[in-house]
A = this chain, B = another copy of it.
Amino acid sequence: MLIVMNRNASVADIARMTAHIQQMDCQAHITRDEIQTIIGVSGNPQRLNQTQIEAMPGVEQLLSTRTPFKTASREFQSHATEVTVGKVTIGGPGVVVMAGPCAVESIDQMMQTGMAVRNAGAHILRGGAFKPRTSPYSFQGLESEGLKILDQVRRETGLPVVSEVTRPELVQEMRESVDMLQIGARNMQNYALLQAVGKAQCPVLLKRGMMSTIEELLMAAEYILSQGNGNVVLCERGIRTFETYTRNTLDINAIPALRNLTHLPVIADPSHGTGRWDLVEPVALAAIAAGADGLMIEVHADPDSALSDGDQSLKPERFEALMAALGPITEAVGRSL
């Protein structure tokens, strides 16, 4: 940690800061040029309250030279984490594809879509029983009935299931019906929920908030990891920018950036990341080329009558085409599908 004192900092300001640092069992190292004084801190700077220091007289800026996420970082663990969902491994050499409708609508719809994506080669089935919606008047999901459908479909298709959890009290019920709990973008900083899935010890798919930084995503993962649950998969699903042609802007840079910063697996969601079905395939290929460990793709057996997100869902035929196109790209980056 570095403390940059401002131009007008007095000798007393600097002495007070040095005393404060030593009181916290750290050491202060002073560097000075014509204009400013900088105080380097060694020892255990975690003991220092950053905000308190920023507010002390004479301080201009506090520069942290450490990553604030600890257990999620590559420094903490250099080898890649593999997360196992049913019999599927995420973060290994194989690229994993999760596919299915946005929302569970009926047993027929789920069974039909589940079979279609399995036959096309998907590894995990997705489907929302609880849907967080911007409007209180929109369809909010089939809830418990939806969970029963998911449980039935996973038994019939043999595919493990991922589904979004929206409240801490749902965690137990959902664990019985689904294999992986998803934290949606709107809940990325719902800390009560992060702690609840942290305690549950089950695989978690953590989606990046649409206006959250890469560092905030890693801090949210840290909430789960700090409860002892290391089975976390991160998902880049597009950020909010000024561009309005697409629903979100998939942050392709985030994929290799996360691979550098963390040992957790990273997947991409080009369906939400673009919001347009006609852009899903090229952006899915791009994500794999950039190093993603997998994809989450919205597929709907009958998108014309989907109760939500119809315009970004693929029909089964287009999903098959996407899977076919993925093969060569996966190979080109030295992985398998």
Contacts and interface: CB of A to CB of B under 8 A. Distances in A.
Interface string A220-253: 0011001000000000000111111110011111
Nearest to A33: B42
A244 to B, nearest CB: 7
Interface in A58-78: 60-61, 63, 65-66, 68-70, 75
B42 A34 contact: yes
A215 B245 CA distance: 8
Contacts of A63: 2, 4, 63
Copies in the complex: 4
A250 B255 CA distance: 12
Interface stretch (A79-87, A146-154, A275-283): A275-283
A23 interface: no
A251 B257 contact: no
A273 interface: yes
Interface in A33-71: 33-36, 38, 40-43, 45-46, 49, 51-52, 54-57, 60-61, 63, 65-66, 68-70
A243 to B, nearest CB: 6
A155 interface: no
Interface stretch (A106-114, A116-124, A288-296): A288-296
Interface in A122-178: 132-137, 166-168
B308 A279 contact: no
B65 A38 contact: yes
Given A51-B311, A65-B35, A307-B51, A285 B333 contact: yes
A313 B31 CA distance: 29
A200 to B, nearest CB: 16
Contacts of A55: 303-306, 310-311, 313
